[in-house]
Amino acid sequence: MSKLFPVMEVGSLNKAPFRVKDLARAVEQAEKWGKALDVENYEELVELLRNRQVSEDLLVDWACIYGLRFFESAGLDVVYDGEQRRVEMYEHPLRYIEGFEYRGVVRVWDNEFYRKAAVVKRPRLIQPYHMDELRFNKKHAKKPLKVPVTSAYTLADWSFDEYYSKHARGEDLAARANAGRRDFVLDLVEEVLRPVVKALDSEGVDYIQLDEPAAATKPHESELVVESINETFQGIRAKKAVHICYTDYKALFPALLELKIDVLSISCSNADTTRLGTDPDARPGFEVLKVFKEYDVSFRVAPGLVDVHTDFVEPPELVRDRALYAAKVLGDPGKVVACNDCGLRTRSWDVAYQKQLSLVRGAAMAREMFG
């Protein structure tokens, strides 16, 4: 990608709107989006739905094709299928890893809970995951692909540890907890993440993205986060991306300087205003980029130019101003990749699509400013 402000997505989309129980609605949505996204032979799906002849597997295949076309027709430069085959970023990989057992639900906030597993022995990869998904997408995609993968550190941080801290030496609980933690993360890299990423790489994919939402949970472990990412990506030919969202990015410095990747995508628009302008008052969400400039990071930054937690559709002019401000702060438009704050899973396809059109148009407007 040599053009300025290339446009990428982050990962997830809401389930394709035809994956509903109401048959009439499924048919209507398959038709509407088939036409809108210019999905080839979408009439086949419509007919299958109408005749109730579509299996769940086939429906998911179609959802992936619609997901690809969703981003392609909006004009993004790097795309994926909106993670239509995946349940959730934690439980999905755990299906393919031996050594974890679910322990029950724990609270994330208020009355929201997630199923949390414990590592009970050294993790072992049953088989590389996301492979069928990637192969299918490669067959159908018309643009470069970026496959998202949940990172080792995040899998460890979101799990209990009934193995490593138990086997760590010494009487002191604090020392044992620390020693066990490092072994847990690096074993996940060696036994699981690196083989998965290698297998994906051998299929030939343009980008591999490690999703690292837990990266700044424990600022004192930021070096371990970076080490685990670099170790995971060792020897990979594909371009390397990392996504870290909604966090205190400053807490990750200076460790982030050691990150050997091509692009880091971060969330900015969720903390920004919707006023036009390229002055600091209008762009508080992008102030965080100053620390990236201050440390002169070697990788490109993909600040979220679109907030995925609101139905407000950013006008292209707002996206343009956010991109221009990011370029101004980083001191180099070539350092900026246009992106969303995070996956679009929480938005309807209607809203998400409008947001992607704006993202692409806004990035093009910013590009024009540089001739």
Partner 1 sequence: MKAYLVGALPRTEKLIKAYRDRAKNKISDTALLSELESTSRAYIEVQRRNGFAYIIDGMLGWNDLLRPFASSLENVVVNGLSRWFDNNFFYKAPVITGKLSLRNRIDTSPFFHQFIETEKRKIVVPEPLTFAKLSFNKFYSRLDDLVYDIAQALAHYLRQLGEFAQVQLTAAYLVSGKVSSEDLELSRSAVEVLRKTVDAELMLHLQFGSAEKNLDNFLDFPVDVIGLDMFKTRVECLRGLETDKCIFLGFVDGRNTLLEDAAATVSLMKKVASMASFGELHIGPNCELEHLPHEYALKKIEVLGEVVKLSGESL
Contact 62, 15 (CB under 8 A): no
Q: Give 198 or 218: the residue with its C-beta nearer to partner 1.
A: 218
Contact 282, 321 (CB under 8 A): yes
Q: Is residue 169 at the binding interface for partner 1, with CB under 8 A as the rule?
A: no
Q: Is residue 346 at the binding interface for partner 1, with CB under 8 A as the rule?
A: no
Shortest approach of partner 1 to residue 174 CB, angstroms? 5
| CA-to-CA dists, residue 71 to 11, 54, 117, 353, angstroms | 11, 24, 34, 8
Span of 29-37, 168-176, 196-204, 349-357 interacting with partner 1 by CB under 8 A: 168-176
| Neighbour tally for 144: CB within 10 Å | 17
Q: Give 28 or 161: the residue with its C-beta nearer to partner 1.
A: 161
| CA-to-CA dists, residue 43 to 19, 39, 242, 278, 350, angstroms | 16, 9, 37, 46, 20
Residues near partner 1 (CB under 8 A), total: 31
Residue from the set 217, 230, 346, 354 that interacts with partner 1 by CB under 8 A: 217
**x-marked contacts with partner 1 along 74-93 as a string, rule CB under 8 A:** --------------------
Q: Give 66 or 158: the residue with its C-beta nearer to partner 1.
A: 158
The sign one gets for the Cα dihedral 201, 92, 344, 228 is negative
| CA-to-CA dists, residue 63 to 27, 29, 38, 335, 345, angstroms | 13, 12, 14, 33, 14
Vertex 299: Cα angle to 293 and 302 (nearest 5): 80
Q: Give 118 or 236: the residue with its C-beta nearer to partner 1.
A: 118
SS3 47: helix
Q: Give 161 or 262: the residue with its C-beta nearer to partner 1.
A: 161
**x-marked contacts with partner 1 along 95-124 as a string, rule CB under 8 A:** --------xxxxxxxxx-x--x-x------
Q: Is residue 187 at the binding interface for partner 1, with CB under 8 A as the rule?
A: no
Shortest approach of partner 1 to residue 107 CB, angstroms? 6
Q: Is residue 161 at the binding interface for partner 1, with CB under 8 A as the rule?
A: yes
Q: Give 132 or 311: the residue with its C-beta nearer to partner 1.
A: 311
Cβ neighbours of residue 150 closer than 8 Å, sequence gap 6 or more: 89, 90, 92, 93, 210, 211
Q: Is residue 126 at the binding interface for partner 1, with CB under 8 A as the rule?
A: no
Cβ neighbours of residue 40 closer than 8 Å, sequence gap 6 or more: none
Shortest approach of partner 1 to residue 272 CB, angstroms? 14
Shortest approach of partner 1 to residue 105 CB, angstroms? 6
Q: Write out the H or E segment, with its range, that includes residue 243.
A: strand 239-244
Q: Give 57 or 171: the residue with its C-beta nearer to partner 1.
A: 171
Instruction: Report strand pairing: 263-266 vs 300-306.
Output: parallel
Instruction: Report strand pairing: 97-109 vs 112-125.
Output: antiparallel
Q: Give 27 or 120: the residue with its C-beta nearer to partner 1.
A: 120
Q: Give 104 or 334: the residue with its C-beta nearer to partner 1.
A: 104
Span of 18-26, 38-46, 166-174, 360-368 interacting with partner 1 by CB under 8 A: 166-174
Q: Which of residues 240-299 bind partner 1 (CB under 8 A)?
A: 247
Q: Is residue 135 at the binding interface for partner 1, with CB under 8 A as the rule?
A: no
Contact 150, 97 (CB under 8 A): no
Q: Give 103 or 143: the residue with its C-beta nearer to partner 1.
A: 103
Residue from the set 220, 235, 296, 371 that interacts with partner 1 by CB under 8 A: 220
Contact 162, 120 (CB under 8 A): yes
Residue from the set 160, 231, 250, 351 that interacts with partner 1 by CB under 8 A: 160
If you count them, how many residues does the chain have?
A: 371
Q: Is residue 182 at the binding interface for partner 1, with CB under 8 A as the rule?
A: no
Cβ neighbours of residue 22 closer than 8 Å, sequence gap 6 or more: none
Vertex 107: Cα angle to 104 and 112 (nearest 5): 110
What is the contact surface with partner 1 in residues (CB under 8 A)? Answer: 103-111, 113, 116, 118, 157-158, 160-162, 165-166, 171-175, 177, 214, 217-220, 247
